[in-house]
Amino acid sequence: MSILWKDSPSRGPGSPRVVGFHEPDTGSCQYICIDPATRKAALVDVVLNFDPKAARTSTTHAQWALDFIAREGLDLEWILDTHPHADHFMAGAWLKAQTGVQQAIGVKVNKIAELWRDLYNMPQAFDPESDFDHLFADGDSFTIGEIDVRVMLSPGHTLGSVTYVAGDAIFAHDTFMQPDAGTSRCDFPGGSARELYGSMQAILEHPDDHRIFIGHDYGTDDREEPAWESTVAEQRETNIHLGGGTPLDEYVALREKRDATLSLPTQMLHALQVNLRGGRLPPAEDDGHSYFKIPANRF
């Protein structure tokens, strides 16, 4: 399988090289963030492939990332996710099993788990404290090699989404989309268009030339090939939902009207019970197989 990927070079000391690659079934954008000085790396939002018709997982994109790291002679330090994704499975647990590398997400995954315990009627399910090695709070920091990374709480798409700011690279997940596509939906449990607006404005406070790497791209009527990199200035000036300073109430009305027309992602009800376990399938039953629990008539 040919995987579409693009290289965003480092701009100098403290600036990471970012390799982005695309998963076409869910339009997901995934990243390898690399410190050129030390050859240390982190993986961000890598997908575990899933065929919902057969309820079968596979590791095409996660293996591609590991093969790239091996081929380039990189040393993986972090497996990062920005939130428990609703439209694809996270590959974090599988990646950790292959590499032994620490796995992290935002601390408010605990609050998201509370919501979904109720929706699945599984009051004892999900233990993010055990399934992730690090739960980052707003303002926390860490390093990838010698590159400083800051964690920003960025609610809206979910109540616990986080943005990773690594030097001049902003991993902005499901906040912005490409400027010609607008912004991300906010209608999942715990989502809020009003909070998303604030999260995006906080991202736009960074310098104009900082690179923004998004969570999804599906192309547009005028652009077939997926894209996932822009700059703060491009988003501030030309984003079709926010460009030029769209006021809060106008944005909320636009976003909520759009969200009301969208169907649920195909993988959502499967994905949350995996992603709230760090990418692990539900515990195997007495026959050795895992089974999904899908709520009927809840959405």
Q: Could you give the CA distance from residue 46 to residue 29 in angstroms, rounded to a whole number?
A: 8
CB 28 within 8 A of CB 22: yes
CA separation, residue 226 to residues 24, 47, 177, 181, 184 (Å): 9, 16, 11, 11, 16
pLDDT, tens digit only, all 299 positions of the chain:
689 999 999 999 999 999 999 999 999 999 999 999 999 999 999 999 999 999 999 999 999 999 999 999 999 999 999 999 999 999 999 999 999 999 999 999 999 999 999 999 999 999 999 999 999 999 999 999 999 999 999 999 999 999 999 999 999 999 999 999 999 999 999 999 999 999 999 999 999 999 999 999 999 999 999 999 999 999 999 999 999 999 999 999 999 999 999 999 999 999 999 999 999 999 999 999 999 999 999 99
Residue 149: name the closest of 20, 32, 16 by CA: 16
CB 255 within 8 A of CB 193: yes
Domain 5-270 falls under CATH 3.60.15.10: yes
Task: Report the sign of the C-alpha dihedral through residues 148, 158, 89, 26, in that order.
Answer: negative
Query: 120-131 burial, b if ≥16 CB within 10 A, otherwise e?
Result: beeeebbebeeb
Please give the single-letter amino acid code of residue 145.
Answer: G
- Spell out the domain ranges in the chain: 5-270
